[in-house]
Structure 1
Amino acid sequence: MRETNWLKLESGSDIRGIAIADNEQDIELTEEVVEKIGRSFAFWLGDKLDIETNNLEIGIGHDSRLSADKLSQSLSTGIRSAGADTYFTGLASTPAMFMSTVFASYNYDGAVMITASHLPSDKNGFKFFTKEGGLEKADIQEILKLAARNDFRSVNRTGQDFKIDLMEDYSNHLKNLVRANLNEEVDQEKPLKGFKVILDAGNGSGGFFVDKILKPLGADTEGSQFLEPDGNFPNHPPNPEDKEAMASIQGAVKVTNADLGIIFDTDVDRAAVVDGDGNSINRNKLIALASAIVLEENPGSTIVTDSVTSVGLNKFIEEKLGGKHHRFKRGYKNVINEAIRLEQEGIKAPLAIETSGHAALKENYFLDDGAYLVAKILIKMANLATEGIKLKSLIEDLEEANIKKEFRMDIDLEDYKDYGQQVIDDLKEYVTKIPGWKLAPNNYQGVRISTGGNDWFLLRMSLHDPVLVLNIECDLDKDLNQTLTEIKEFLNRYNAIKSIGF
């Protein structure tokens, strides 16, 4: 039997690995491995909460992946072997699984979502929650080390397995949110009556949003697509950042003449929308829209974003909306933790949002929840309609660069992190020799360079891979070509950097 490389399964604040393969020897999330992960999580959680594992209650849910049922059974077996009870909801969203730890009628000690987000269908993984939120990278490493040691203390019982209908209660939670925040002029029971709102669930677990939320709120949802869960993801990648996926929902909005299109990723912790003209509202536009909504409710507060947001977005948040823009590191967990840190220092930071579509609001436990963000957008759409105003008007002053590019370059070294950091440090010196280039302030990740006007680029290390990532925005092709020429001349000094694709 192949020896398990346990720490290889750590992926940031999640566990991920190969769950399906033609050759069984290639499968990383085997039955035995997953049982040990479940058992380790139960003992880790019991120790953290100072509760005997016999008294723990842990929720389990999954997205539409083909390996979901098998992994659910193995995970439950492992958790129950530690003495804890499991509560299985079946198909669920990641945000709903967290809410099972705080809903009064559930109040579980912990929860696990079986998902690998937008990764290919052969992958799967686990996201873990306590009442404090998602686990950190260090927690995941501790759980995996426990599993690797395989030295568990004995317990005097095997936990029981119960079935629950969490998604019904989670859906009611979102409907109540919408109805509680409507203007008096809006139909309080069916605020979306007269609106055509369609959903693209990407064959993930977000299809519930149509029947359980949009229709009860009065929306015409005819034309919604790919609502059936299918782990083969036969229509397009379940990812709002994917061009094919976004083009699909844009096309559906145009064909059906919808007022709003919604698209979720597989496990519904990310979302994007499309306006009635078929224009995508994602990345900088989604951040701008969310900021407009949040800053109206929290004037002058700080919006925390990741490192690749545009100059135009900064102007929009600070000059148009009167807020403060805190551009931090790439990675949704980094952005969320930074907002929490600011709040602890007395700085109001009600929204942490990444260009990928992860959006976490303080009012919602700083939980990155795509469905919650969409609910906030639906509220705003219904309220604005009483004044004859459309959603797109909220972001019409956002300046957007004409050209947006991302390039990824492999580092062919074992010790790639130190090498990549040296490249970034050297670039800071190189920049001083290029007329018109200057370091942007507050570089929390990599190095960001202003190249004139609203043009900029950012060179950073990938969060998980031996890859340097170059993001660049500008308005003119000639400026793009000139900037890329300078960057390529700089990068050609480094023999370990491969595949410079520009």
Structure 2
Amino acid sequence: MQNFNWHQLQNGSDIRGVALDGVAGEAINLTPEATTMLGKAFVSWLAEQVNKPAADLVISIGRDSRLSGPDLKQGLISGITAMGSRGYDFELASTPAMFMSTVTDGFNCDGAIMLTASHLPFNRNGLKFFTTQGGLGKPDISAILALAEADAFTTAAQAGTVEPRDFMGVYAQQLVQTIRKGVDHPQQYEQPLQGLKIVVDAGNGAGGFFAEHVLQPLGADTTGSQFLEPDGTFPNHIPNPEDGDAIASLKKAVTTHNADFGIIFDTDVDRSGAVDHTGQELNRNRLIALMSAIVLKEHPGSSIVTDSITSDGLTQFIEQQLGGQHHRFKRGYKNVINEAIRLNQSGQDAWLAIETSGHGAMKANYFLDDGAYLISQLLIELAKAKQSGQALSDLISTLQEPTESQELRIEITADDFKACGNQVIEKLQAFAAQQADWTLVPNNYEGVRIACTSPSEAGWFLLRLSLHDPVLPLNIESNVTGGVAQIALRLMACLQKFESLDIPPIT
């Protein structure tokens, strides 16, 4: 693969690429030949990390429901076995399960690889890598790509072998036991969800196992569950808890079947969202608030680490209602998780790291962003609430939510988009300092966040530079009707001075 640009495949701490034809202007750059090289590179990298010969390594391999998965998996297997390593083929799996295979007795894999591109379109695919220490970070991915580019591998005289193993059954049973122990119902310990109707929407991704292998053994009625069958064309809706059509579909299923609860997963089950019995969404700030209430009951005073676009009302709820600490950090699930780990290492308890996107990781679960584990915590509280004649949503009854909110994605047309974006943020911060009723929010870790205190605005905005794209995302929230438009109108007086910004209309 001479002259191939390996580093174009890097997307932060993941590898992402185009694996299939079908989308105009998107040429294939992730092929079985590429995954063969990446398999060799991972073995080479891992052998050095764990100080083992390649022949002694055991690596698990899984995939989501994407059409390109089987061929890319065969490429991976070819690379791993060429280096002499052993492999376990889990076939259809979830991303969190792949990590768990490294820490579960009877498997104890040295490393794991998941083929997935999360919620991206059908033609994309990618790879996520794990060791016993968790998911690999951006520098690790860069190192693996550099090894693939160098192509200086010494293959083994005797090829390794790959055997099929059922790990999803083991992983599902781990979740079942977590829920049983969490509810600890003396009369129905084995089936603590008996009497509850719970709808699952897997979006034709890898999450369909949850209905049959987790909920049903616990006694739940899963009538009305939908799109459980894996289908890489994603014919019903995008498997994404943030997608409006996906949530609307789940809400309809919950209300149509008079369910007590609805669950939605993304393609590889590292993210989740939910709907309560009334059809109200339990995602974004509401999901964070629910998880904070659960965590802070067991760990009073803990810090809750979130991304940067969470609401002021969430801060008030965590700190004033629950007695915790809200540590608002940067966008990016790895950023949020790593910050929680850093806080714990510095002596500050942080038991939850969670993004508004639905990525959530808990200290009690290896800080693994596991959508199924996160849902298991909600199901424990759902069962306890039913026992006491209450509703799960009662936990967040005092959460103040904004009256209005909007996110705009302002495109940067300048060649050096990072320099331009940083200049815009700098100028906006100076502009905001001149406004009598705008205040710079302290302890902000990315972009500029401004509190807008006038009665006609009563809100805030955050302008930041995207992690990867030539875009300035602008989030605005207000507690009064018309407040978002009023804040945006004043903002435009500053932003429209930049010719290199393509600003969409305020709706």
Instruction: Compute the TM-score of the two structures, normalised by the length of structure 1.
Output: 0.98
Question: Counterparts of 1:216-365 in structure 2 under 5 Å?
Answer: 216-365=217-366
Question: Per-residue deviation at 1:427?
Answer: 1.2
Question: Counterparts of 1:456-475 in structure 2 under 5 Å?
Answer: 456-475=460-479
Q: Report the AA paired with residue 495 of structure 1.
A: E
Secondary structure of the residue that 2:475 maps to in structure 1? Answer: strand
| Aligned counterparts of 2:465 and 2:146: Cα–Cα separation in 1 | 26
Question: Counterparts of 1:454-493 in structure 2 under 5 Å?
Answer: 455-493=459-497
Q: Report the AA paired with residue 462 of structure 1.
A: S
| Aligned counterparts of 2:503 and 2:29: Cα–Cα separation in 1 | 29
Question: Per-residue deviation at 1:482?
Answer: 1.8
Q: Report the AA paired with residue 18 of structure 1.
A: V
* Superposed CA offset, 1:432-470 (max 9, x none): 122211111111011111012751110001111111100
1:173 maps to what in 2?
174
| Aligned counterparts of 2:110 and 2:186: Cα–Cα separation in 1 | 41
Secondary structure of the residue that 1:128 maps to in structure 2? Answer: strand
Deviates more, 1:214-223 or 1:489-498: 489-498
1:80 maps to what in 2?
81
Task: Determine whether 1:11 maps to 2:11.
Answer: yes
Question: Per-residue deviation at 1:198?
Answer: 0.7
Task: Determine whether 1:198 maps to 2:199.
Answer: yes
Secondary structure of the residue that 2:218 maps to in structure 1? Answer: coil
Q: Report the AA paired with residue 466 of structure 2.
A: S
1:412 maps to what in 2?
413
Question: Per-residue deviation at 1:2?
Answer: 8.1
| Aligned counterparts of 1:71 and 1:350: Cα–Cα separation in 2 | 36
| Aligned counterparts of 1:113 and 1:419: Cα–Cα separation in 2 | 36
* Conserved 8 A contact 1:488-1:500: no
* Conserved 8 A contact 2:406-2:484: no
| Aligned counterparts of 1:186 and 1:275: Cα–Cα separation in 2 | 25
* Conserved 8 A contact 2:62-2:115: yes
Question: Per-residue deviation at 1:390?
Answer: 1.0
* Superposed CA offset, 1:6-47 (max 9, x none): 111000100000000159992101222111111101100111
| Aligned counterparts of 1:391 and 1:154: Cα–Cα separation in 2 | 55
Question: Per-residue deviation at 1:184?
Answer: 4.0
Question: Per-residue deviation at 1:56?
Answer: 0.6
1:70 maps to what in 2?
71
Q: Report the AA paired with residue 378 of structure 2.
A: I
Question: Per-residue deviation at 1:355?
Answer: 0.3
Deviates more, 1:152-161 or 1:92-101: 152-161
1:213 maps to what in 2?
214
* Superposed CA offset, 1:249-282 (max 9, x none): 0111000000000000000000011100010000
Secondary structure of the residue that 1:86 maps to in structure 2? Answer: strand
Query: In structure 2, do the counterparts of structure 1 residues 88 and 203 end up closer, same or farther at CA, with 3 Å as the change threshold?
Result: same
| Aligned counterparts of 1:12 and 1:494: Cα–Cα separation in 2 | 29
Unaligned runs of 5+ in 1: none
| Aligned counterparts of 2:2 and 2:44: Cα–Cα separation in 1 | 25
2:21 maps to what in 1?
21
Secondary structure of the residue that 1:286 maps to in structure 2? Answer: helix
| Aligned counterparts of 1:295 and 1:51: Cα–Cα separation in 2 | 41
Secondary structure of the residue that 1:105 maps to in structure 2? Answer: coil
1:501 maps to what in 2?
505
Question: Per-residue deviation at 1:500?
Answer: 3.4
| RMSD over equivalenced CA pairs, Å | 1.4
Secondary structure of the residue that 2:67 maps to in structure 1? Answer: coil
Secondary structure of the residue that 2:105 maps to in structure 1? Answer: coil
Question: Per-residue deviation at 1:371?
Answer: 0.3
| Aligned counterparts of 2:465 and 2:413: Cα–Cα separation in 1 | 14
Instruction: Say how many residue pairs are matched.
Output: 502
Query: In structure 2, do the counterparts of structure 1 residues 412 and 25 end up closer, same or farther at CA, with 3 Å as the change threshold?
Result: closer
Q: Report the AA paired with residue 496 of structure 2.
A: N
* Conserved 8 A contact 2:199-2:263: yes
Secondary structure of the residue that 2:168 maps to in structure 1? Answer: helix
2:99 maps to what in 1?
98
Question: Per-residue deviation at 1:3?
Answer: 3.7
Query: In structure 2, do the counterparts of structure 1 residues 137 and 212 end up closer, same or farther at CA, with 3 Å as the change threshold?
Result: same
* Conserved 8 A contact 1:186-1:383: no
Query: In structure 2, do the counterparts of structure 1 residues 173 and 239 end up closer, same or farther at CA, with 3 Å as the change threshold?
Result: same
Q: Report the AA paired with residue 131 of structure 2.
A: T
* Superposed CA offset, 1:369-421 (max 9, x none): 00001111111111222211110100111000011111001111232112211
* Superposed CA offset, 1:36-68 (max 9, x none): 111101100111111111111000000000101
* Superposed CA offset, 1:144-193 (max 9, x none): 11111111134332110110000000000000111112244451011111
Question: Per-residue deviation at 1:477?
Answer: 4.1
Secondary structure of the residue that 1:377 maps to in structure 2? Answer: helix
| Aligned counterparts of 1:489 and 1:13: Cα–Cα separation in 2 | 37
| Aligned counterparts of 1:448 and 1:253: Cα–Cα separation in 2 | 37
| Aligned counterparts of 2:149 and 2:125: Cα–Cα separation in 1 | 19
| Aligned counterparts of 1:440 and 1:385: Cα–Cα separation in 2 | 40
Q: Report the AA paired with residue 89 of structure 2.
A: F
Secondary structure of the residue that 1:472 maps to in structure 2? Answer: strand
| Aligned counterparts of 1:340 and 1:97: Cα–Cα separation in 2 | 21
| Aligned counterparts of 2:394 and 2:482: Cα–Cα separation in 1 | 32
Query: In structure 2, do the counterparts of structure 1 residues 92 and 270 end up closer, same or farther at CA, with 3 Å as the change threshold?
Result: same
Task: Determine whether 1:430 maps to 2:395.
Answer: no
1:446 maps to what in 2?
447
Q: Report the AA paired with residue 306 of structure 2.
A: T
| Aligned counterparts of 2:420 and 2:322: Cα–Cα separation in 1 | 41
Q: Report the AA paired with residue 21 of structure 2.
A: A
Query: In structure 2, do the counterparts of structure 1 residues 178 and 478 end up closer, same or farther at CA, with 3 Å as the change threshold?
Result: closer
1:145 maps to what in 2?
146
